[in-house]
Structure 1
Amino acid sequence: MVLPDCTDQYLCSASAELLEECFFDLLSSYFRKNIPKSIAVGVSGGVDSLALTYLLMRWKSLHCPDLLLVAFIVDHGVRSESSVEALRVSSWLRSWGVPSYVLCCQKNIGNGQARWRKARYKELFLACHAHQISLLMLAHHQDDVLETVWMRRQALSDWRGCAGISSHRIQWDVHVVRPLLAWPKQCMYRILKHIRHPWIEDPSNRSPEFQRWKARCVIKSFSYEERQMFWKTILALAVKRNYESLKWAEKVNFVSVAGGYGIFKSSSCFQLPVLQGARVLSQWICGIVPRASPLRQESLCHAWRRVLNMDGQNSSSIVFTLGGCVGINTPEVLYCFREWGRVIPEEPPKHLSKGPWIWDQRFLFFHPTKGPVSAIAYGKNLYTALLPKVPVLPKYVQRLACASMPNISGGILCHSGVPCPIFALPLEYSAFIF
């Protein structure tokens, strides 16, 4: 979590100027080694995202004027007035000197906050890749954490889920950072009221049909002591989850291979029991082919058992196909990359395909032509340079790995991120970033 020593009482009594100083100190601590060239911020027009954008704008103007700060506004198209609101928010940001882009979701994204959230994240990640930005900041706050954990408890989530929202997470090779998780929502109101700036209220936040509304009512009914106890319980679990993530990050020995990874059998994750191993496998697969819904636990466990049962065998063989990926066992390395038969993408969204690049739901290609993306015979220009020059890579695996890559002449491949079970990272952890 972020700023675990700050209490509600301290933050709620702080002036807008003091909150600004706290935010600057937080970013200075996080970027103590190097400041990124660019930061994206997700903006809805609500009080939370506008407050975060204002704080980032102030930090940029006072401490790092060369930083490129870009705002992405997602228009779900669910409400008739959403397009007008998106343009209004864009004009507000323009007056702050923050360039913004309105991202329109594809039609028929469905109903419900979960579906809207998935569509929103997809558009944000696509936009980050299109603008070659590796850090996305979001404005989730303490009330969001408390509400989320309450809902997860109702759904009988395990302790990792009850550790709250991640302050730093890597998704689709984008570092998602939430710097305001320790701040109660009323801090955001104080900031915007201080600068006398309007915001937009989402009517779905007051709709009793959503579980989030029920959770919000429960949290508001808490006494100060109950809220603090709940928050400290979440913090303790968050520290435990962060420690677990860092431990596994240090113990996974891997090499990038074309459309995926090779994970060395010496990695300690291969000593895990089936249930935990299945969770690790899920992270590997979703790191190669992102999904809108989780993989089935039964299928993951079956695949992990096959991996463990192949230990000690000298021959190379396919041990599983799952989630659009294929797993190939060799004596020293387990290779996991995209299935060659599933590389041909759907047509990119029209509002994202105007530039000189192609996105196939996992890789982003920058190239000068508008040629098609396809997976064809081995031996063509299939990014053979990405194959590691290690003696443990059999020709059989090379052939299949190359076949998993799209056939485009030239270009830059935005490769995948760290293939380890990083469920959450402490905000100050920046070993992989930039």
Structure 2
Amino acid sequence: MTEAAQAVFATWLRQTYPNPAESIAVAFSGGGDSLALLILTLRHAGPRPVYALCVDHALQEGSAKIIAAAAAQAQRLGAVAQTFYWHHGTITSGVQEAARKARYGLMGDFCRENRMDSLLVAHSRDDQAETLWMRKQCGGGWRAMAGMSASSYAPVWPQLRGVTLRRPLLEWGREDIRAICRDAGEPWYDDPANENNDYLRVQARMALASDPVLSPVLLEEGRKMRARRDGEARGVQDWLTEIDIVDGGGTHVDQAALHNMSAPALARVLMCISGHPHMADMARVRALIDAMVEPGYNVQTLGGCAILRQDKGFIIARETGRWLAQNKPVKLPAHEPVVFDGRWEIVVARKGLHAAPLWPARGQLSKPQRAQLHSYNAHIRRGLVGVFEGRDMVATPFIPNGDVTYRNLVKSRLLKHSAKLGAAPA
């Protein structure tokens, strides 16, 4: 990486973290890319504290020793190293995706606990090309082919809620990045999994290495698709800021608003209200909008939401039929935030409590409490959560309890997506 490139990085860092006392979190594995990012960050952070977040996935022999060495290297370089361990049990399928969610969950918890609203990761131009190759193999549409953004709000939900993922090295090639390590005389760890052909990313790396023309073609396609996606996002932004998320996590959309509503805008609303990690298929969202303008429209479900005609417009609420039928309680460890159904963050002050849908236990409510329940829209109230001790309901969003704190995530998630043009899922 040239001196000019490093100057660009230094300027970016100062602009992104304007407060000289603001802490910076860097995802650090000990690999060449994350090592270079850590070196650059420490070099240009000034007085800002830099934290190197190291996760032991415990998926290979000797992983604890590898992460311990990475943490020691980070400390020696001047960072504050934080090590996390993933207690994964006996996992047999979807290992890479589960590890990814766990990794970001652990780092996201640390960022939130320490009031850091962003996390730096060392994705490179080569990573971008590999991602685009994989998405093309899977038949992704044009949005998928936009690839990774330089900045993405909570791309792993709910693990990264409240955290923006930043990729300051996304335009730099892997060899240029690792030259930073070599120039600094710092060794890095080469993960043997990078040679395992069972992983799609390794297949992508090999395919790109065998065809030098392929990577530039994919990257150019990605740039065009990102420009298109960013333009789309600017059109969506104003519409999203007008959406009023009511207490409980639903919204009412006027019939007239349909004329200004695009499929990407509605897809984001559905994603946030349902608590789902990803947006619904865009073709199905467009078909839904076409159906909504028809006089005979009554109700449809999509993306975990019910969209119902009501009051000269539409109510959008969490679809609860399958959700209530499953009715799986979630344990609530004391003093640890737990996200329920992707929509509610709950913290309890004592052990022995769990979260579950409120609706099946509504018979436990007193007459005044039932009146409070019925102050919610008929469809929204069915998606409310309760906190239970055994079978007994001890708290709801409208029944105060000093041992229970609720935070509805729907509105904050939607507003942050609308405020950040880089808030694409990738």
For normalisation by structure 2, the TM-score amounts to 0.73
1:188 equivalent among 177, 199, 211: 177
Q: Determine helix, strand or coil for the equivalent of 1:255.
A: coil
Q: Determine helix, strand or coil for the equivalent of 1:183.
A: coil
| 2:331 partner letter | E
1:346 aligns with 2:326: no
1:244 aligns with 2:232: yes
Q: Determine helix, strand or coil for the equivalent of 1:347.
A: strand
Assess if the C-alpha contact under 8 Å between 1:146 and 1:230 holds in 2.
yes
Cα gap change, 1:322 to 1:266, in 2 (>3 Å): closer
Tell me the distance in 2 between the aligned counterparts of 1:298 and 1:238. 19
Q: Partner residue of 1:161? A: 144
Tell me the distance in 1 between the aligned counterparts of 2:20 and 2:317. 33
Aligned residue runs from structure 1 range 132-281, under 5 A: 132-171=115-154, 172=157, 173=161, 174-223=163-212, 227-228=215-216, 230-252=218-240, 253-262=242-251, 264-265=253-254, 277=263, 280-281=265-266
Aligned residue runs from structure 1 range 15-54, under 5 A: 15=3, 18-31=4-17, 37-54=22-39
Q: Higher relative contact order at CA 8 Å, sep ≥6: structure 1 or structure 2?
A: 1
How far off its partner does 1:21 sit? 2.3
Q: Partner residue of 1:8? A: none
1:83 equivalent among 54, 64, 72: 64
How far off its partner does 1:169 sit? 1.8
1:58 aligns with 2:43: yes
Assess if the C-alpha contact under 8 Å between 1:93 and 1:100 holds in 2.
no
Tell me the distance in 2 between the aligned counterparts of 1:41 and 1:194. 20
Assess if the C-alpha contact under 8 Å between 2:318 and 2:383 holds in 1.
no
Gaps of 5+ in 1: 1-10, 388-393, 430-434
Tell me the distance in 2 between the aligned counterparts of 1:421 and 1:297. 21
Tell me the distance in 2 between the aligned counterparts of 1:380 and 1:127. 42
Q: Determine helix, strand or coil for the equivalent of 1:413.
A: strand
How far off its partner does 1:343 sit? 7.3
Higher alpha-carbon deviation: 18-27 or 36-45: 36-45
How far off its partner does 1:181 sit? 0.7
Gaps of 5+ in 2: 388-394, 396-400
How far off its partner does 1:358 sit? 3.5
1:73 aligns with 2:54: yes
How far off its partner does 1:218 sit? 3.1
Tell me the distance in 2 between the aligned counterparts of 1:421 and 1:413. 15
C-alpha distance after superposition, 1:286-314 (max 9, x if no partner): 33455567767797677656644478x8x
| 1:25 partner letter | T
Q: How high is the sequence identity, in percent, across the aligned residues?
A: 22
C-alpha distance after superposition, 1:214-240 (max 9, x if no partner): 3212333454x7654543332222112
Assess if the C-alpha contact under 8 Å between 2:308 and 2:315 holds in 1.
yes
How far off its partner does 1:397 sit? 0.7
Q: Determine helix, strand or coil for the equivalent of 1:335.
A: strand
Q: Partner residue of 1:360? A: 340
Tell me the distance in 1 between the aligned counterparts of 2:303 and 2:255. 25
Tell me the distance in 2 between the aligned counterparts of 1:44 and 1:338. 40
Figure out how many residues of one structure are paired with residues of the other and give that number. Answer: 387
How far off its partner does 1:46 sit? 1.4
2:409 equivalent among 415, 419, 434: 415
Tell me the distance in 1 between the aligned counterparts of 2:406 and 2:49. 22
Tell me the distance in 2 between the aligned counterparts of 1:208 and 1:369. 47
Tell me the distance in 1 between the aligned counterparts of 2:33 and 2:309. 48
